[in-house]
A and B are shown apart, each in its own frame.
Chain A
Amino acid sequence: MAKAMGTVGISKYRKHPAVLFVLMLVGLIITGGLYSIGATAANKVAKDSVSAAAILNDPASIDAGKRLFATGCATCHGLNAQGASDGPTLIGVGAASVHFQVATGRMPMAAPGAQVMRNKPQYTEEQTLQLAAYVASLSPGPAIPTAAQLNWAGADLAEGGELFRANCAQCHSFSGRGGALTEGKYAPTLMLATPEQIYEAMITGPQAMPIFNDQTLNVEEKQAILKYIEYLKDSPNPGGLELGRYGPVTEGLFLWTVGIGALLMVAIWIGVKAK
């Protein structure tokens, strides 16, 4: 008699309402967890700028940098950094540019593409600074920001937010998580970048990024922006799981998968005859 109630096998577990909670919680946790993994990744601290200055100002660094350059960079940028068919000239780009590109692992470039991606750095910090010192010795350019420039402790958070929305959010998005640009280029997430790297990017304009020099966006304003970005890196999610902070697209996706999915499961539970 009971056998004749030919419902499928899993229905015998369905009768426990607890299963529903578990399934829903698991769904919520998995989805939310996946989104947050990417976001709460590396959160690096600024480098010790005192020793950096020492390396940069040491005349021996220029020679060391030149040797590193000849083996690692000259193939594309030319023996004297004058540029070649595969790479632009580096004369006048300044130490900040070299330090940004090499310390974020973008240079040496792995493969050409729409955009050079952030990568594992291939040089130590000391080598990077030596390269920077060499390139800076060729012709003046934007210098690596000093510890004083990077000291954003006294900056105003709200002002930083306003400056961020006026100057940065259009590409890097309100949350600093980055965004798409044209033809496969993109504005990268700021969550992985150190304050030093962000400052360097602002004054040198790597790749598609325009330049925000210290005249159009002065040091105090940059510090306020750095403070706001540092806040964004570990800002609270008052409402709970943040879904990656990409805006309504991920919210809609979540609703259609977890939301509709969970309620459909309940509807099926209601519709199946009890045993």
Chain B
Amino acid sequence: MSTEITRGPVDKSIDGGIKYLDERYGTSGFIKRNIKKVFPDHWSFMLGEIALYSFIILLLSGVYLTFFYKPSLIEIVYDGSYLPLKGIKMSEAYASTLEISFDVRGGLLMRQVHHWGALLFVAAITVHLLRVFFTGAFRKPRELNWVIGVGLLVLAIFEGFSGYSLPDDLLSGTGIRIASGIALAIPVIGTYVSFLVFGGEFPGLDFMSRLYTLHVLIIPGIMLALITAHLMLVWFQKHTQYPGPGRTNNNVVGYPLMPAYMAKAGGFFFIVFGFLVLLAGLVTINPLWAYGPYMPDQVTAGSQPDWYIGWLDGGTRIMPNWEIVIAGIGTLSLNILIPAVVVPGIMFTLLALYPWIEQWITGDNRAHHILERPRNNPNRTGIGVMSLTFYGLLWIAGGNDIIAQMLDLSINDMTRLIRVAIFVAPPLAFVITKRICLSLQHSDKERLLHGDPTGRLLRLPSGEFIEVHEPLSDNVKAVLLARTELPMLQPPAEVDQSGVKTPKLWAKKLQHRLNRWWYVDQIPMPTIAELEAAKHHAVHELQEAQALGLEITHDLPEPTKSH
């Protein structure tokens, strides 16, 4: 490359800086090792970047908002420039949010950037998580980073909810009221928890400043630390890559950090930022002036949380009204605890533990750096779609009043239907997804053995018709062949060699049974012999065709074509 160009003043100052740092901190070794670090390039690898950039934008816009916002529930009479609320009693928190929106130049823009950014942040984490899940990127050696990611998702949801609650408008106050109701439902200590959190009865005057500290300091601080760890682990372990020609479990194929990857990643930050600012300038989010101030005795139809709380709200809606009064002891509000605590608790625990659950079933303790195509792991893909179906149904339940209003349905019918569907639809989704995956596996095998059908028929001298198949390109072949197969686990021995009963035999038996179930339907990969035979057949077919004087446009296998 062109390193011997004359060195101008800029180069000299850069050189000087590098020298200065290296003499003191020995940075050059680190930079040397990392500046050409290779990152695989794929659109689906940018989803996490969207989340990261949203977080940075949230920090920037959030800091700006803190300069105006007052986390105070002291009642004042509004005297700002929004006429429909002039003279109305409201908290200082709400009044300062109105001031940001109507009396600060760019204040509304920043508020909308912040709120759209929050919705985008959680959505980007979610699609990133789905990508990681469905491609098996969480497998060894990346299990811990998966757990950090799940932790970040949970924190992002709390952070979002706390932010949604700060303006103290009618909608956000209703959300806080529901949170207080959930706190009260905690068995034994619920009343105390609620009184400590709210500094006495709901709503009190204390919780807004406490929530504010959580929202601007504690939660983002933890998130910042976790995001740093998340990225350092990605950096250290190197990114996974999709299967393709030349890509193995022992290498990374992609672009070096400097310059192309850096330019793309940096440019994408500006794109996400610019997009959010455009969105904030063009589309209203949370028109809190229209909701009015929070009053604990007022409510609006269509009281909804932001999208990422919607599924919890939906679960709470479709829950039957089970409440157990244990005579002389206490009241157990299962109607609140199950949808608001138990179900999300189980969901997030299973999500966090999934890498180990799958590892235990498959017995697969190898390191994986090549991503798995979703079809090649039908059970995982099925579990994913099953969970999404479950989540989606709760989500629909969370918006059922708006959906009922738009589509002229009955909220009661929707609730009754979802109460059934929540048990029926997810297993159905699993079965259907698994079947689709297996048939895709089957067609992959056919393609490997016979190539792609072209639709052209040939009549052989024998009178037989054959369809001309086009051989696969090496790119496609590399992708199809990258599927890994594991032998099933052997049934556990009842006793070991020395005749001692195997400890935890039941667990090993369960593992064996699950392992069988996991693999029993897999379409086996073609063997090397089968592939060789198929190749001969293809050549033969081609020769037959040429003998008939037909022009076959495609070439024989040759590693030249590429995508």
Contacts and interface: CB of A to CB of B under 8 A. Distances in A.
Interface string A131-167: 0000000000000000000000000111101100110
A248 B562 contact: no
A266 interface: yes
Interface stretch (B345-353, B401-409, B543-551): B401-409
Contact of A241 (B41, B116, B272, B282): B282
Contact of A248 (B298, B307, B413): B307
Interface in A12-70: 24, 28, 32
Given A241-B282, A249-B399, A174 B292 contact: yes
Main secondary structure of the interface of B (DSSP, over half): helix
Contact of B295 (A157, A165, A238): A165
A234 B560 CA distance: 64
A247 B119 CA distance: 14
B101 interface: yes
B287 interface: yes
A231 B84 contact: yes
B291 interface: yes
A272 B281 CA distance: 30
A113 B83 CA distance: 41
Q: Using C-beta atoms within 8 Å of the partner chain, give the interface range for chain B.
A: 35 or more
Nearest to A259: B120
Interface string B357-387: 0000000000000000000000000000000
A251 B108 CA distance: 17
B282 A251 contact: no
Contact of B84 (A7, A228, A247, A266): A228
A168 to B, nearest CB: 10
Contacts of A156: 87
Given A161-B88, A174-B290, A240-B283, A264 B43 contact: yes
Interface of A is mostly: helix
A170 B282 CA distance: 29
Given A158-B87, A255-B120, A174 B170 contact: yes
B283 A241 contact: yes
9 contacts: A4-B561, A32-B282, A156-B87, A161-B85, A174-B291, A231-B84, A235-B290, A249-B399, A263-B271
Interface of A: 4-7, 24, 28, 32, 114, 156-159, 161-162, 165-166, 169-175, 178-184, 186-187, 228, 231, 235, 237-243, 245-256, 259-260, 262-264, 266-268, 270-272
The 3 closest A-B pairs by CB, nearest first: A179-B301, A252-B307, A239-B284
Given A4-B561, A237-B287, A239-B280, 19 more contacts: A159-B87, A162-B88, A174-B291, A174-B300, A180-B301, A180-B405, A238-B102, A238-B284, A239-B112, A240-B284, A246-B405, A249-B304, A256-B307, A259-B123, A260-B124, A264-B43, A268-B43, A270-B41, A271-B45
